[in-house]
């Protein structure tokens, strides 16, 4: 695979890690929400899958369908420059050698993992060389890590754990069980990698990743900046809600260009567009839960309990957390916030350092958040994963702005 060989982050990391994680070893990846932890774990898994090695992926926070979506997105990005025949062969290999288990509704323990490994071996002849465990809560580490490390040693497995802001400092007692860690941090338009080891603390690597794909963007020897990646519409995924107005327009226009769609919904939510519908379970909605008092204070307006607004805000959390670029149609107010519930997607994008653009229908122009203020400009879609949302009261200039956004981004296809 041309793309996997040249820009796969796992192979680029090998020289800095002293080689891949060995049999019997345990590593971890930590990052804030939305930075790319899950995508990085999928890259690690895919690196083994395309070699014909068995991999078990365990998710503690997402459904099997959602995990498969991560694999589909990373696979498309990693093989975008490969021949169709090579891509098909790699996809077949990945599907054949991968198992996905979820512990969404039950507690994860080392004993449960061991029972799963025994069952897979006895019933399916499936003996993974690599296990990745995603969404490990930081407060569970002391309970989980020793048992998982024992399984890695006894079964000669490589095991990677992933979690948000895992509390593993230089003096953590968990280093008795862990060999290496990686911290992912957003930095301008790339993601910085910090190598974590007991004997050296944190060391920033001369290697950065494209936040849209988690493929290698720069190395110490590359002074020209991030590698240019020509995106095709078919390689991109639009995250939206399919509601009347802006979201419906993003979906309709995106479909014409061949963009993939994921439209989040929930019980009681009215969608004008059902293509790519993803119904969020109560547990998935809860992952994006937020205090309406906090939102009201952040957006300087009042939101009442007992309405659908909480679920709408939770759905926006799922859209933005999966995206590297966020495009919103609306109206920027004097205090810098955006009118309506859509304003929460803007606040999330600002808090998570996403590339954020708002088309203000009253001012008839696009504005980018530069970290301090709104700056006029003309955006293009340059991320594989992006959000398209906004007001239900879409005007003619708002729809035209979406049309031109796709034309600027993909007319070269």
d(CA 161, CA 152): 12
Of 186, 219, 252, the last residue of a domain is 219
- Domain assignment present for residue 320? The answer is yes
Domain match, 272 and 347 both:
yes
**In this structure, what are the phi and psi dihedrals at residue 270, rounded to the nearest 5 degrees?**
-95, 120
Domain match, 273 and 377 both:
yes
Domain match, 203 and 258 both:
no
- Domain assignment present for residue 374? The answer is yes
- Domain assignment present for residue 224? The answer is no
Domain match, 237 and 372 both:
yes
C-alpha closest to that of 106 among 60, 151, 168: 60
- Domain assignment present for residue 227? The answer is no
Domain match, 83 and 210 both:
yes
d(CA 226, CA 161): 28
User: How many domains does the structure of the chain reveal?
Assistant: 2
Cα dist. 321→34, 132, 137, 316, 325 in Å? 5, 21, 17, 8, 10
Domain match, 255 and 200 both:
no
Domain match, 128 and 242 both:
no
Q: What is the pLDDT along the chain (413 residues), one digit of tens a residue?
A: 434 546 778 888 887 887 788 999 999 999 988 788 999 999 999 989 888 899 999 999 887 777 887 887 788 777 766 665 566 667 777 778 999 998 876 788 999 999 999 988 888 889 999 999 999 999 999 999 999 999 999 999 999 999 998 999 888 899 999 999 999 998 877 899 999 988 777 889 888 888 877 888 744 433 333 334 457 888 888 999 888 999 999 999 999 999 989 998 887 778 888 888 888 887 776 665 555 444 455 555 554 555 566 677 778 888 887 788 999 999 998 888 887 667 778 888 887 778 899 999 999 999 998 878 899 999 999 888 899 999 999 999 999 999 999 999 997 55
Domain match, 115 and 240 both:
no
Domain match, 190 and 274 both:
no
d(CA 302, CA 246): 23
Domain match, 278 and 339 both:
yes
Domain match, 265 and 180 both:
no
Of 188, 219, 250, the last residue of a domain is 219
Of 196, 219, 242, the last residue of a domain is 219
- Domain assignment present for residue 104? The answer is yes
d(CA 270, CA 43): 36
Q: What is the CATH number of the domain that holds 391?
A: 3.40.50.450
Domain match, 205 and 254 both:
no
Beta carbons of 45 and 133 less than 8 angstroms apart: no
Beta carbons of 56 and 128 less than 8 angstroms apart: yes
- Domain assignment present for residue 225? The answer is no
- Domain assignment present for residue 228? The answer is no
d(CA 320, CA 214): 17
- Domain assignment present for residue 226? The answer is no
Domain that holds residue 377: 233-410
d(CA 136, CA 107): 11
C-alpha closest to that of 407 among 376, 385, 367, 379: 379
């Amino acid at each position: 695979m041309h793309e996997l060989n040249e820009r796969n982050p796992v192979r680029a990391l090998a020289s800095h890690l002293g080689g891949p994680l060995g049999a019997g070893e345990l590593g971890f990846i930590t990052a804030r929400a939305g930075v790319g932890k899950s995508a990085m774990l999928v890259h690690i898994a895919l690196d083994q899958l395309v070699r014909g090695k068995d991999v078990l992926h365990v998710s503690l926070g997402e459904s099997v369908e959602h995990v498969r979506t991560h694999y589909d997105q990373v696979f498309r990005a990693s093989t975008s420059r490969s021949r169709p025949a090579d891509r098909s062969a790699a996809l077949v290999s990945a599907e054949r050698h991968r198992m996905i288990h979820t512990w969404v509704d039950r507690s994860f323990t080392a004993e449960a993992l061991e029972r799963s490994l025994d069952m897979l071996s006895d019933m399916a002849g499936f003996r993974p060389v690599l296990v990745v465990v995603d969404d490990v809560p930081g407060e569970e580490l002391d309970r989980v890590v020793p048992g998982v490390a024992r399984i890695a040693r006894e079964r000669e497995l490589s095991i990677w754990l992933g979690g948000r802001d895992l509390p593993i400092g230089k003096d953590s007692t968990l280093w008795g069980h862990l060999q290496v860690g990686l911290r992912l941090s957003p930095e301008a338009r790339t993601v910085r990698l910090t190598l974590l080891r007991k004997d050296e603390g944190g060391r920033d690597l001369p290697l950065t990743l494209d936040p849209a794909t988690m493929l290698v963007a720069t190395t110490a020897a590359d002074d020209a900046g991030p590698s240019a990646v020509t995106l095709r519409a078919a390689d991109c995924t639009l995250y939206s809600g399919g509601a009347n107005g802006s979201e419906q327009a993003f979906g309709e226009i995106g479909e014409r260009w061949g963009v993939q769609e994921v439209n989040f919904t929930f019980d009681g939510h009215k969608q004008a567009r059902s293509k790519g519908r993803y119904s969020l379970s109560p547990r998935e909605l809860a992952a994006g839960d937020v205090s309406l008092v906090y939102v009201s204070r952040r957006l300087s307006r009042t939101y009442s309990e007992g309405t659908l607004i909480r679920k709408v805000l939770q759905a926006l959390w799922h859209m933005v957390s999966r995206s590297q670029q966020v495009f919103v149609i609306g109206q920027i107010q004097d205090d810098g916030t955006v009118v309506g519930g859509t304003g929460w997607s803007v606040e999330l994008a600002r808090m998570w350092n996403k590339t954020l653009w708002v088309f203000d229908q009253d001012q008839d122009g696009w504005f980018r958040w530069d970290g301090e203020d709104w700056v006029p400009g003309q955006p293009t879609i340059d991320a594989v994963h992006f959000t398209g949302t906004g007001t239900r009261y879409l005007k003619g200039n708002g729809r035209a702005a979406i049309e031109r956004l796709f034309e600027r981004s993909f007319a070269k296809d």
